[in-house]
Amino acid sequence: PSVFRMLTGDRPTGALHIGHYFGTLKNRVRLQQQGVETWLLVADYQVITDRDVSGDIKGSVRELLTDYLAAGIDPERATIFAHSGVPELNQLMLPFLSLVTQPELERNPTVKSEMQAAGKTAMGGLLLTYPVHQAADILFCHGNLVPVGKDQLPHIEQTRLIARRFNDRFAGGEKYFPEPDALLSKAAVILGLDGDKMSKSRGNSVMLKMTASETAKKIKKAKTDSERLITFDPENRPEVSNLLTITAECTDRTPEDIAEEIGDKGAGTLKVMCADALNAHLEPVRARRAELEAHPDYLFEVLRAGTERAREKAVQTLDEVRDRMGM
């Protein structure tokens, strides 16, 4: 395509951690700097896909906006918008729902495992249809590039199917909607301090918003192993390798190179190096964060302006969709 248009987003469920930062945020900033048109969705409605309490969504939106801008998302170049501010997305979802069958919705392996994880409190309907909502989020701006983790691939497949079927059924084969490509993250999954995947809900995270000393304290408590010789071996030594990966992400060195320098000085030395590198790397992010935190009005003005831009686009797309459907 001649224009690369990226759509990504997050559910506002709390402040972001360094897994988000190294796993996706840095890459989004890089793509934005390379001139990729950037649409960034604050998926507030999607908070309730897998839980029956929504929590302080507004507070979480504020945290998310702060982390985005502190990490280097440029609100002049990126359109940051909220689901709830663009009702046309929900209207777009209606014809899209008619384009997928019930078995196709139920077969989605990510939805299946989320259903199981949510158990009895699952918001059944929304959990089943949120990938269709996502299709509307991507296609309303004719997004053709969606940076995702592996678990999101079935959803992108569903979006491609919806685009294809819409084009065939309602647009006479015209390529009205693009079939978006998933851009699979090459970044390593960052483990939390307990050795499981770093995750908001597990309390095992180093948050972007933490101070340098909070960060050092957390990393000091990170799970490692008893082998003094430090080696990079993600398969057999995931925790030690994770700290090496984080250190490497913060410097222009490789994990192997850092392991060799530490040699048999043990995990204590590795933890100090990791915390120092991380704190140095995040220092400007945290400085911007502190500045932004002092200006919540500015943050919500950024969101309001982005939502207005997104809405203009969504109104136009919905008009064109209705037109093609013969309305």
Choose between 142 and 155: whose C-beta lies nearer to ligand ADP. Answer: 155
Could you say which residues in the range 178-237 bind ligand ADP, by CB under 6 A?
185, 187, 189-190, 197-198, 200
CB of residue 224 to ligand ADP, shortest distance in Å: 18
Question: Sign of the CA dihedral 20, 21, 27, 32?
Answer: positive
Query: Of the candidates 13, 79, 134, 247, which one interacts with ligand ADP according to CB under 6 A?
Result: 13
- The upper half-sphere exposure of residue 23, i.e. CA atoms within 13 Å in the direction of its Cβ, equals 20
Q: Which are the contacts of 174, defined by CB distance < 8 A and separation ≥ 6?
A: 167
Choose between 118 and 315: whose C-beta lies nearer to ligand ADP. Answer: 118
Q: Which are the contacts of 211, defined by CB distance < 8 A and separation ≥ 6?
A: 286
CB of residue 68 to ligand ADP, shortest distance in Å: 13
Q: Which are the contacts of 68, defined by CB distance < 8 A and separation ≥ 6?
A: 25, 40, 80
Rule CB under 5 A: is residue 136 a binding residue for Na ion? no
Rule CB under 6 A: is residue 315 a binding residue for ligand ADP? no
Between the alpha carbon of residue 318 and those of residues 207, 311, 325, the distances in Å are 39, 10, 10
Identify the helix (H) or strand (E) that includes residue 162.
Answer: helix 153-170
Query: Of the candidates 5, 15, 24, 267, which one interacts with ligand ADP according to CB under 6 A?
Result: 24
Out of ligand ADP, Na ion, none, which partner does residue 248 contact, by CB within 5 to 8 A per kind? Na ion
Q: Which are the contacts of 4, defined by CB distance < 8 A and separation ≥ 6?
A: 31, 35, 36, 37, 144, 145
Judge whether 121 and 52 are in contact, CB under 8 Å. Answer: yes
Instruction: Considering only the stretches 16-24, 161-169, 227-235, 316-324, report the one whose residues sit in contact with ligand ADP under the rule CB under 6 A.
Output: 16-24
CB of residue 44 to ligand ADP, shortest distance in Å: 11
CB of residue 148 to ligand ADP, shortest distance in Å: 6
Structural tokens at position 216: 């050092």
Choose between 90 and 185: whose C-beta lies nearer to ligand ADP. Answer: 185
Judge whether 38 and 87 are in contact, CB under 8 Å. Answer: no
Out of Na ion, ligand ADP, none, which partner does residue 230 contact, by CB within 5 to 8 A per kind? none
Closest by CA to 273, choosing from 243, 238, 239, is 243
Judge whether 266 and 243 are in contact, CB under 8 Å. Answer: no
Instruction: Considering only the stretches 20-28, 239-247, 264-272, 287-295, report the one whose residues sit in contact with ligand ADP under the rule CB under 6 A.
Output: 20-28
Q: b or e along 218-246 (b: 16 or more beta carbons within 10 Å of the residue's beta carbon)? A: bbeebbbeeeeebbbebeebbbbbbbbbb
Rule CB under 6 A: is residue 23 a binding residue for ligand ADP? yes
Rule CB under 5 A: is residue 248 a binding residue for Na ion? yes
Rule CB under 6 A: is residue 12 a binding residue for ligand ADP? no
Instruction: Considering only the stretches 38-46, 79-87, 205-213, 241-249, report the one whose residues sit in contact with Na ion under the rule CB under 5 A.
Output: 241-249
Rule CB under 6 A: is residue 10 a binding residue for ligand ADP? yes
Binding site for ligand ADP (CB under 6 A): 10-11, 13, 19-20, 23-24, 149, 185, 187, 189-190, 197-198, 200
Binding site for Na ion (CB under 5 A): 248
